[in-house]
Amino acid sequence: MSPVIPLLILVIPLAMFLFLGLCGHKMSHRWAGILGTTGMGVTMVLAYITAFTYFFSGDPSFIDADTHTRLQAILFNQDWLNFYDKLVIRLGFLLDPIAALLLVVITTISFMVHLYSNGYMRDHHGVWEKGFQRFYAFLSLFSFSMLGLVVATNIFQMYIFWELVGASSYLLIGFYYTKPSAVSASKKAFIVTRFADLGFLIGILILSYYTGSFDFTDFTSAPVGGPDSTVYRIDPATPSHILSVFQNSAAPIFMGGSVLTWALVLIFMGGMGKSAMMPLHIWLPDAMEGPTPVSALIHAATMVVAGVYLVARLFPLYLMEPVALDIVVVVGAITALYAAIVACTQIDIKRVLAFSTISQIAFMMVSLGVARPEFHEGLGYMAGMFHLFTHAMFKALLFLCAGALIHAIGSNDYTAMHGLRKYMPVTHITFLVGCLAIAGIIPFAGFFSKDEILTATGEYSTFWYIWMSAVAGLTAFYMFRLYYLIFWWKEHKVPEGHHTPHDQPWTMTLPLVILAAISCVAGFVPMGNLVTWNGVEEVTNPNFFTNLGNLNWGVASVSLAVAIVAIVIATIMYRKENPLPAKMKAALPHLWEWAHHRFYWDELYQFITHKIIFGCICKPIAWFDRHIVDGTMNGMAYVTNKISYAIRGFQSGRIQLYVLWYLIGAVVLAAVTMICVLC
């Protein structure tokens, strides 16, 4: 495959960013929106072509037809910073199953959000939001960064784009920069993820220090057909070689764990920050201060799964250190339960969705963590990627529906909504589809992926299987709670002087309908054929009903039953106005209080940062900085100034003195050297 199309996938969003950023304010709002949307549409088509070529063309650089193995192809790889032969930072384009999958997900959601924002970013009277062009420029920057991240050929490129993604997320969360809460949310998101990235960077440095390489292919794969080949195959021999490099190094053990485990856990820490795993999850709920399309794109579908993607990218290496994977499982499972409980008590609909996102990403993490080649050929890996795909679709749908509701009502609280089903039928139906999908009701998308995850977890350990099933039940419960509280509960009363809420313009409706349609059928994508941890197809010759046929009905019926019971409970409690929820709240006051305040994590961080870090560490350092460091600097400035004043006569303007100094200089130079060398 020629590198032109892949290159364009990256260049078009970048060009859009530069163009809209530099010249956008001179364009009309409408055309800026159309331009941004068209650019993303073209990118989407190119990404589809690339993914389609990768999966279905049968090109020998993409698939080994004899062994049914999908390969990794490096389409281009340009040296960027050349320190010396081994230490080269490259920028390139790696195409493999997960990269192709993510290309499709990112461009699809991004296009939907671009389209949707044309309607969302203006009020009911058609007045455009201030900074509309800037918004589109930032969206393009984000898309560029995210695409660059998923196609990275080496971990350093990934890190660069990782930070770019963080920066564009910062810009978009703080889009309403006159609103103090948005500003502090953007700062919070940036600082927390940057803190996590510190771990990521240290992990990268450890890994590359020992292995002498940044390339993913050097960590996980072996070249196919000669060392100069640009086609690679996942090969367990390579990571086990790296394991032996670590074990044979001078210091293989550090603080009770092997160095490789430390490196992998530190890299996972970067993923925890971006993917909002506990205890680094605190930024994501606040990030909902950004415009809702941004939440749909960045904080539901794409950026927050970067952590999952990172673990998947290095998965063969993680397999070498099962301890690291066990840590992934524990972190994921605890986060999943925590977020699901908190989601049951939130009032702001975007916060409910945010916690639901945290919980669902934790599902993917657990799924990767439990994947082992000996269980169903690494089913968990496939399931995690499958869930990433389906979740991106239905969670973006839910967020865009939430955006439509907020757009219509002007508030984030469900208390201001209630009973909207008659006024906004399209939003109602699409939201319901999203809820059914996330709850895992057959045949919607979430059912299949969640079922695979639970199957894989069951193979790994019964305890975590029960745990995760309970979380799945909670998911169904809080989603339907939200659904009923928005669309049912009691009749909507229109305040005087307001018109009735209604469905939105077509630019907003169309993405909802498309995403709802995808959420209905995405579950039938034969992911086992496309994405596996080592590229070997689990199922060959798939058809539309492959997933249905391969279901483990034991697990599936249990999870279906759990979901249905949860939905029934939610229906009883919230369909009509009734005192049951208040009774529940009164019966478990402490649990409700704790969950409502998100288990006081923010307060804990506040305490740690303000009282302990600021008080005990920062104050002495500040004193040191102010008096010692600044003192030295001021002293240096003072001395420099004095010297400068003292020697100004040196530059007298008299040519005789110039020549004299010249001569003195030459002679002194010679004389001093002579004394030093000869004596």
Partner 1 sequence: MDYSQFLVMHREIALLAVFLVVFLYDIFMPKRALGATSWVAVGAFALFTAYSFLMPGTNETAFAGMYVSSGACAAIKNILNVGVLIVLIQATKWADSDLQIMRRGEFYELLLITLFGMYLMISGRHFLIFLIGLETASLPLAAMVAFDKQRYESHEAAVKYMLTAVFSSAIFMMGLSFVYGLTGTLYFSGIADKLSEASPLLICALAFVIAGIGFKLSLVPFHLWTADVYQGAPTSVTAYFSVISKGAAAFAFMVVLAQCFGAFYADVWEWMLYALIILTITVGNIFAIRQKNMKRFLAFSSISQAGYIMLGVEADSAVGLTALMFYVLVYIFSNLAAFGVIGAIENKTGKVEMTDYNGLSRTNPWLAFAMMLAMFSLAGIPPFAGFFSKFFIFTGCLSQGSVAIYILVLIALINTIISLYYYLLVVKAMYISPEEPQIANFRSACPERIGLWICVLGIIALGIVSFFYDSIYTAASTAGIFASL
Binding site for partner 1 (CB under 8 A): 79-83, 636-637, 640-641, 643-645, 647-648, 650-651, 653, 655, 657-659, 661-667, 669-670, 672-674, 676-678
Question: Residue 164 CB, nearest distance to partner 1 (Å)?
Answer: 12
CA distance 283 to 193: 8
Closest CA to 148 of 139, 138, 157, 137: 157
Question: Residue 646 CB, nearest distance to partner 1 (Å)?
Answer: 10
Question: Residue 639 CB, nearest distance to partner 1 (Å)?
Answer: 10
Produce one character per residue of 351-362: b if its CB has 16 or more CB atoms within 10 Å, e if not.
bbbbbbbbbbbb
Nearer to partner 1, 613 or 667 (CB): 667
Nearer to partner 1, 30 or 642 (CB): 642
Question: Residue 206 CB, nearest distance to partner 1 (Å)?
Answer: 22
Question: Residue 379 CB, nearest distance to partner 1 (Å)?
Answer: 42
CA distance 171 to 658: 56
CA 499 to chain centre: 39
Nearer to partner 1, 251 or 647 (CB): 647
Nearer to partner 1, 3 or 581 (CB): 3
Closest CA to 113 of 515, 428, 412, 518: 515
Question: Residue 79 CB, nearest distance to partner 1 (Å)?
Answer: 6
Cα separation values, 460 from 358, 371, 645, Å: 22, 8, 76
**Distance linking the first and last C-alpha atoms of the chain:** 70
Ramachandran quadrant class, 249 (left: phi over 0; alpha: psi -120 to 50; beta: rest): beta
Question: Residue 36 CB, nearest distance to partner 1 (Å)?
Answer: 24
Question: Residue 19 CB, nearest distance to partner 1 (Å)?
Answer: 16
DSSP letters spanning 407-419:
HHHS-SBGGGTSS
Phi and psi of 250, rounded to 5°?
Answer: -65, -35
Nearer to partner 1, 500 or 640 (CB): 640
Whether 280 and 196 have beta carbons less than 8 Å apart is answered as yes
Question: Residue 551 CB, nearest distance to partner 1 (Å)?
Answer: 51
Nearer to partner 1, 25 or 30 (CB): 25
Question: Residue 152 CB, nearest distance to partner 1 (Å)?
Answer: 17
**Tokens 């994921």 correspond to what residue?**
332
Nearer to partner 1, 580 or 628 (CB): 628
> Encoding tokens for residue 431?
């939201």
Closest CA to 147 of 38, 14, 307, 310: 14
Question: Residue 636 CB, nearest distance to partner 1 (Å)?
Answer: 8
**Tokens 């579950």 correspond to what residue?**
523
Question: Residue 675 CB, nearest distance to partner 1 (Å)?
Answer: 10
Nearer to partner 1, 2 or 644 (CB): 644
Nearer to partner 1, 65 or 678 (CB): 678
CA distance 326 to 312: 15
Question: Residue 146 CB, nearest distance to partner 1 (Å)?
Answer: 20
Cα separation values, 415 from 228, 354, 558, 579, Å: 63, 18, 34, 15
> Encoding tokens for residue 229?
């080949």
> Encoding tokens for residue 410?
């002007």
Whether 612 and 518 have beta carbons less than 8 Å apart is answered as no
Nearer to partner 1, 152 or 368 (CB): 152
Nearer to partner 1, 572 or 643 (CB): 643
Phi and psi of 456, rounded to 5°?
Answer: -65, -40
- In sign, the C-alpha dihedral spanning 73, 78, 83, 84 is positive
Nearer to partner 1, 191 or 674 (CB): 674
Whether 370 and 464 have beta carbons less than 8 Å apart is answered as yes
Closest CA to 338 of 280, 287, 299, 414: 280
Question: Residue 310 CB, nearest distance to partner 1 (Å)?
Answer: 25
- Give me Rg for the CA atoms of the chain: 28
**Tokens 């309607």 correspond to what residue?**
119
Closest CA to 368 of 415, 317, 407: 317
| DSSP one-letter code for 588 | S
Nearer to partner 1, 74 or 102 (CB): 74
- The β-bridge partners of 93 are 76
Nearer to partner 1, 612 or 672 (CB): 672
Nearer to partner 1, 561 or 674 (CB): 674
Phi and psi of 90, rounded to 5°?
Answer: -115, 155
CA angle 590-591-597, nearest 5°? 90
